[in-house]
Amino acid sequence: MNIFRLSGDVCHLVAIIILFLKIWRSKSCAGISGKSQVLFALVFTTRYLDLFTSFISVYNTIMKVVYLVLAYATVSLIFFRFRNSYDSESDSFRVELLLVPVAGLSFLENYAFTPLEILWTFSIYLESVAILPQLFMITKTGEAESITTHYLFFLGLYRVLYLANWVWRYHVEGFFDQIAVVSGVVQTIFYCDFFYLYFTRVLRGSGKMSLPMPV
């Protein structure tokens, strides 16, 4: 464990809590992509199956359980408790365009051809693109509430800090996880435009982040 990994975990947790509280307090999931949240729940499910097979640390176990509980709680709020506020028309990204290639790649590029390893690899690849339905939804509607952008900011910051974690581990421990690093770089790239808009518009006091409407 190093400061980058710990900070990344905190940012990840903060992002998830921000989103959950936003939906719970406003009693609305307007502007939130249910498809992205389902994909993230799938990421946690396929990644943390080792909860039943191995023990790393109390911290590790608690964080995995918290991520799983919050992910499914958020999905439940979107599709059940506050489903009347869910904008399914705008949340129209075709997730099969992500799931099929990711599933195929996880069978082709992995560290061991075993069920748990393939599912872990699937989760890494899927996490790198799971935010795309949310970004697509924001682009389609043309704007995002500030609280939603805060969620995305902390989610993106989590990925940046994890890249720093991999650099640290490579130089200090000589450890390099090619699958995790490449996937992390891809995911971080998706956030680049968002980071620019976040710092230039949201932090200047605008209630919402406006984006150019797609042609």
For 50-63, the pLDDT digits (tens) are: 998 888 899 999 99
Angstrom distance (rounded) from CA 80 to CA 9: 28
Average pLDDT estimate for 26-52: 95
pLDDT in tens, 183-204: 988 888 888 777 776 766 655 5
Name the more confident of 67 and 211: 67
C-alpha distances in angstroms, 42 versus 34, 56, 130?
Answer: 12, 22, 10
Quote the pLDDT of residue 215: 41
Model confidence at 214, in pLDDT bands (50, 70, 90)? very low
State residue 187's pLDDT score: 86
Is residue 124 a contact partner of residue 179, using CB atoms and an 8 Å limit? yes
pLDDT digits (tens, 9 = 90+) for 94-142: 999 999 999 999 999 999 999 999 999 999 999 999 999 998 888 887 7
Please, what is the average pLDDT of the chain? 89
Residue 56 CB coordination number (10 Å): 10
Q: Where are the domains of the chain?
A: 3-210
